[in-house]
């Protein structure tokens, strides 16, 4: 009788802990981006990524979103060089890039 009770207790602990661990893993920038896309304030990530990839001949190796400025930053690698491109999340316009 002890093993089934112990297993049930463990299962309840795991279920009870799940929402807390989910909140702990949330990223505020992603939450802000989701809310901004839903409200029409920002263009969706997939659209911005496609625009960025169309402008740089290289492999995308990273990206981030800054909710304070509404900018996406994409990081590409081309050969031995790294290129950073900033884009306006509201208009989709390229704001600048660093690297070759």
CB 86 within 8 A of CB 95: yes
In this predicted model, what pLDDT tens digit does every residue of 27-58 receive, in sequence order? 777 888 888 899 999 999 999 999 999 999 99
In this predicted model, what pLDDT tens digit does every residue of 72-94 receive, in sequence order? 999 999 999 999 999 999 999 99
Count CA within 13 A, CB hemisphere, residue 75.
Answer: 6
Query: Long-range contacts made by residues 63-72, C-beta under 8 angstroms, separation at least 24?
Result: 64/29, 65/29, 65/30, 65/32, 65/33, 65/89, 66/29, 67/28, 67/29, 67/32, 67/33, 67/36, 70/36, 70/41, 70/42, 71/95, 72/45, 72/48
**Model confidence, pTM:** 0.70
Q: Domains in the chain, ordered, with CATH? A: 2-98 (3.10.450.40)
Q: What is the pLDDT of residue 31?
A: 87
In this predicted model, what pLDDT tens digit does every residue of 1-20 receive, in sequence order? 555 544 444 444 444 444 55
């Amino acid at each position: 009788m002890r093993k089934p009770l112990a297993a049930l207790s463990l299962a309840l602990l795991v279920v009870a802990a799940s929402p807390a661990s989910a909140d702990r893993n949330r990223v505020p920038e992603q939450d802000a981006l989701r809310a901004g896309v839903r409200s029409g304030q920002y263009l969706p990530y997939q659209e911005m990524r496609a625009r960025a990839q169309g402008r740089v001949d290289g492999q995308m190796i990273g990206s981030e979103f800054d909710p304070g400025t509404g900018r996406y930053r994409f990081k590409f690698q081309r050969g031995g060089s790294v290129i950073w491109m900033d884009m306006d999340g509201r208009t989709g316009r390229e704001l600048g890039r660093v690297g070759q």
